[in-house]
Amino acid sequence: MMIKKICCLGAGYVGGPTCTVIALKCPDIQVVVVDKSETRIQQWNSAILPIYEPGLDEAVKKSRGRNLFFSTDVDSAIKEADLIFISVNTPTKTYGFGKGRAADLRYVEAAARRIAEVAVGKKIVVEKSTVPVKAAESINKILRANMRPNVSFQVLSNPEFLAEGSAVNDLLNPDRILIGGDQTSEGKEAIEKLCWVYKHWIPEKKIITMNTWSSELSKLAANAFLAQRISSINAISAVCEATGACVSEVAHAVGTDSRIGPKFLQASVGFGGSCFQKDVLNLVYLCECLNLPEVANYWYQVIEMNQFQRTRFVRRITEKLFNTVTDKKIAIFGFAFKKDTGDTRESAAIYVCKHLLEEGAHLSIYDPKVNAQQIIHDLTRPDITEEPEKVLQLLSFHQTPYSASEGAHAVVICTEWDEFLHLDYKKIYNSMLKPAFLFDGRKMLNVEELLAIGFQVETIGRKTTRNNVNRGVADCIL
């Protein structure tokens, strides 16, 4: 049996782009992406897609209506499909046992129950969502306990490694595809079928197969290692700011060691996104449940370092602004958790803004891809503020970075959008109150040029001296 029809439950940041690329590369397969959210499906079927990813619009246009379909008809898609991806959200639990740590698997469970209820014939169910180890076993139990006559299931783990902002390219040219399944003949047959789908465009040597638990744990481990590298270089950045070292120089020196490598050594205001924190916490919870407190504490430190980095940055802003930001206007450049995405989940900007708002600062916010509605939603959430009306009065939204910074005491860069590299900083400086401060939370701008213009500059992982402002150069001091 070849795979002729694929269905994907969940039309989010993973389900949408992943299925778009499968449809693009496998014209012989019909791909239906379904979601319980009507709005999301309407957006996928419209000219303005629900998510921004470079190259995604073009890829969707090529396949939509040909062999790629977006629908809310979950049951029909399940019935017709040979292979079903589960790409639903698995956020951190906010209630009950494992609150703040464990993954909330209620959406995965609901998806599995729906499949069990309506599926007919032979199905391969593929867990693409990031889940705790042994989640496939739970899916299997639900499917088998509710199985109707003449239905059979094989459950595979096929975690997704795409990064937002480069999702289409990552899907077209992945480092590897990971497929885990039962090591039985039926399990191996199902693995082969999923391999066949990927082989349409991915070289065989990049497709790794293994047992289900290894596959599930590999995804958590990969994200924990990536987050750990960021927290490690951020920890070093604090030492740099307190001494005369420059974190870029240290990162370069460390990264040129071929055993370490240069990637993910960019110090910043901290990592964000829907995955790193959630998946590390998921690993921490797993270790706690396995009675491995030392291992749990080790990984939890990665999260604590990230929180420390955000708080440290905001404290530095307040200190430099003469220990008070109350009623001061501060321009926030960038709100997305990283460049080239409109996603704000766990964005460092949310926490930077939260602390500044608590101090009574007026924030004028500009982001090229995040709209005001999303920012208001993020900054008035109950876990961010107890006074949403007050927060609303302190916010304003701008179409350009120039209008956001007009009359401001400070500019704070929270997202590394490329366009921030090429702004007219002289114009921005001239329109600001003096002394004009610039806090570069992404360590992306040329400090010397900004000092020469007249800015007071603070950047991550480097100490810039006051008297250097007069000399027009920045230096590292001991």
If binding is defined by CB under 6 A, does position 221 make contact with ligand NAI?
A: no
The smaller minimum CB distance to ligand NAI, of residues 170 and 241, is found at 170
**CB contact set of 201 (below 8 Å; sequence gap of 6+):** 25, 26, 172
The smaller minimum CB distance to ligand NAI, of residues 138 and 311, is found at 138
- Cα–Cα dist 385/211, whole Å: 44
Q: Which of these ranges, 110-118, 194-202, 387-395, 454-462, lies near ligand NAI under the rule CB under 6 A? A: 110-118
If binding is defined by CB under 6 A, does position 74 make contact with ligand NAI?
A: yes
Which residue from 31, 56, 115, 162 is in contact with ligand NAI, where contact means CB under 6 A?
Answer: 162
State which residue has the least CB distance to ligand NAI. 12
Which residue from 53, 127, 160, 170 is in contact with ligand NAI, where contact means CB under 6 A?
Answer: 160
Q: One of 8, 26, 240, 275 is an active-site residue; which one?
A: 275
- Cα–Cα dist 365/243, whole Å: 32
Q: Which of these ranges, 33-41, 225-233, 392-400, 461-469, lies near ligand NAI under the rule CB under 6 A? A: 33-41
If binding is defined by CB under 6 A, does position 309 make contact with ligand NAI?
A: no
The sign of the dihedral angle between the CA atoms of 117, 118, 121, 122 is negative
Residues 188, 212: contact at Cβ < 8 Å? Answer: no
If binding is defined by CB under 6 A, does position 384 make contact with ligand NAI?
A: no
Amino acid at 375: I
- State yes or no: is 275 an active-site residue: yes
If binding is defined by CB under 6 A, does position 274 make contact with ligand NAI?
A: yes
x/- track of binding to ligand NAI for residues 121-140 (CB under 6 A) = --------xx----------
The smaller minimum CB distance to ligand NAI, of residues 64 and 355, is found at 64
> Each residue of 367-386: b (16+ CB within 10 Å) or e?
bbbbeeebbbebbbeeebbe
Q: Which of these ranges, 8-16, 249-257, 322-330, 448-456, lies near ligand NAI under the rule CB under 6 A? A: 8-16
Closest by CA position to 54, among listed 175, 172, 202, 169: 169
Q: Which of these ranges, 82-90, 145-153, 205-213, 224-232, lies near ligand NAI under the rule CB under 6 A? A: 82-90
- Cα–Cα dist 188/64, whole Å: 32
If binding is defined by CB under 6 A, does position 46 make contact with ligand NAI?
A: no
Residues 270, 306: contact at Cβ < 8 Å? Answer: yes
Where do the DSSP E strands lie in 217-289? none
Which residue from 62, 80, 110, 431 is in contact with ligand NAI, where contact means CB under 6 A?
Answer: 110
Closest by CA position to 157, among listed 218, 199, 212, 220: 212
If binding is defined by CB under 6 A, does position 275 make contact with ligand NAI?
A: yes
Long-range pairs for 403-406: beta carbons < 8 A, 24 or more residues apart: 403/364, 403/366, 404/331, 404/332, 404/333, 404/364, 404/365, 404/366, 405/331, 405/333, 405/364, 405/431, 405/432, 406/431, 406/432
- Nearest approach, Cβ of residue 126 and ligand NAI (Å): 12
Q: Which of these ranges, 158-166, 320-328, 352-360, 424-432, lies near ligand NAI under the rule CB under 6 A? A: 158-166
- Cα 399 to Cα 371, 403, 417, 423, 462, distances in angstroms: 10, 7, 15, 14, 31
- Nearest approach, Cβ of residue 144 and ligand NAI (Å): 19
Which residue from 3, 6, 12, 127 is in contact with ligand NAI, where contact means CB under 6 A?
Answer: 12
If binding is defined by CB under 6 A, does position 87 make contact with ligand NAI?
A: yes
Residue 250 Cα to chain centre, angstroms: 26
**Residues, the chain:** 478
Q: Which residues bind ligand NAI (CB under 6 A)?
A: 9-15, 34-37, 40, 74, 87-90, 107, 110-111, 114, 129-130, 160, 162, 164, 274-275
Residues carrying an active site annotation: 275
